Amino acid sequence: MKKIGASVVLAALFGAAAIASARAKTVDVLVSGWPRALHGRDLDGQEYVAVRDLAAISGGAVYYFSISGRVELRLPRADAEFIAGSDEAKINGHGFSMSGKTRWHWNEAYVPISLLASPVFSAATGIVPADPPASVSADSDKTLSHASTAAASPAPTEDAPAPAPAATAASAQVSVAPPAAAAAQAHRRIRVVIDPGHGGKDSGAIGVRGLEEKNVNLLAARQLADIFRKDKRFDVIMTRDSDVFIPLSGRSAIANNDDADVFVSLHCNSAPERGRNDFEIYSMSDHATDPEAERLAEYENSVVKLEGKPSQETQAQLLLDEMGETEFYNDGAKLAAFVEREADKRFPKLDGGVRKADFYVLRGTHAPAILVEMDYINSRKGARKLTSKSFRKKLMTCIYKGVLDYLKAEGPKP
């Protein structure tokens, strides 16, 4: 896929001029009465805070919309909406004006820090500044790591500073209890999204005697779902459970909207060499590990032609996904390695190893994600195995155990 420079696309999407270099600041806030810290940024003389960080401290999520330039901040208590380059915003659908415009800087959306002192914003979200915005001091030595869009538990730590007296009155209008949604986040089941590739008008690869990939993928996905459902630690979400067509972006959206902890997309391979016999695991990368991996990614990505979307829109959305979610690439590679290790134990002659390529469905997913090619559907031997329920179950067990091993080593993302 031909890449477009990030600066070019951002200028086209948001009409953003070059922004002066920003100096990190520490911003102390209260979230429903509990002390938290944020990165502040000085952008052209005005103080800003990243929308993603607001989500991280509150148990929320951020969504970017490429064509309109819209940024959605979904929090446990309220939903906010911003438009890049505009000072207009919405809280739960009600519009109001900010003291500055929403800005785009280094692949992040920023809003004026004065928004935190807005009675409308504070009352709806429970986020208030611990000190007046003007008193925010520069702190180049202290850093706050970028968390994922799901926040950590809101319980205060032993060494957390007590709420400033000046903020007591400001926080009186909100509950002092931790947000229920954030508290539940720490105890919820692990969410696994299983994606049977292709479906509906997209049959996928056609194998021996007309065997359609979409049907094999669905049978395998149902078996994998059954295995995970027997483990009470997991909740399972299927992107499709029937013969329907779902766009690649729609599959990613399902995972993102359900706050997936793990994403597994199931496919069957196909190649001119009909004698091939492999089980391959792929993770997301901007650059394919080899020409065969690149060929496969191009084939799987060609589904976008059936989606009826303008290519410019699709390309722009993919770039935004690339800029905002590269943090998950390494997690996907680790997950792939654990699954491959399990496959090597059970299928030493079948295991085709771990590879990387630019798969659209992985690029748009905000979770550790892998794409599995179960075998070559156009090989007689491969087709025979793929239509075997016992073989598929053994293969799906490899994936299940690999996911378990990954979670034991890395844990679900906060």
pLDDT tens for the chain, 414 residues: list them: 333 444 343 444 444 333 333 445 677 888 877 788 887 888 888 899 989 888 888 777 888 775 677 888 988 888 899 998 899 999 988 899 999 999 887 667 899 998 988 888 888 888 888 764 433 333 333 322 232 333 333 333 333 333 333 332 222 232 333 344 444 444 468 999 999 999 999 999 999 889 999 999 999 999 999 999 999 999 999 999 999 988 887 888 889 888 899 999 999 988 766 556 677 899 887 666 667 766 666 766 666 555 555 444 444 445 444 444 556 778 899 999 999 999 888 887 665 678 887 788 888 888 999 999 999 898 898 999 999 999 999 999 999 999 999 998 887 765
**Contact indicator for 293, 285 with CB cutoff of 8 Å:** no
What is the length of the chain? 414
Token pair for residue 13? 């999407």
**Contact indicator for 221, 196 with CB cutoff of 8 Å:** yes
Place of tokens 């013969």: 243
Say how far apart CA 401 and CA 212 lie, in whole Å.
27
Token pair for residue 171? 């926080």
pLDDT of residue 247: 85
**Contact indicator for 319, 395 with CB cutoff of 8 Å:** no
Instruction: Name the pairing type of β-strands 190-196 and 234-238.
Output: parallel
CATH number for the domain formed by residue range(s) 6-151: 3.30.457.10
Token pair for residue 376? 């070559």
Token pair for residue 10? 């951002």
pLDDT of residue 231: 94
- Where does CATH 3.30.457.10 sit in the chain? 6-151
Strand order in the sheet with 79-83: 61-65, 70-74, 79-83, 88-91, 94-97
- Where does CATH 3.40.630.40 sit in the chain? 190-410
Please name every residue paired with 61 in a beta bridge, in sequence order, or none if there are none.
74
Please name every residue paired with 284 in a beta bridge, in sequence order, or none if there are none.
357
Q: Does domain 190-410 have CATH number 3.40.630.40?
A: yes
Dihedral (Cα; 148, 183, 229, 193), 10-degree rounding? -20
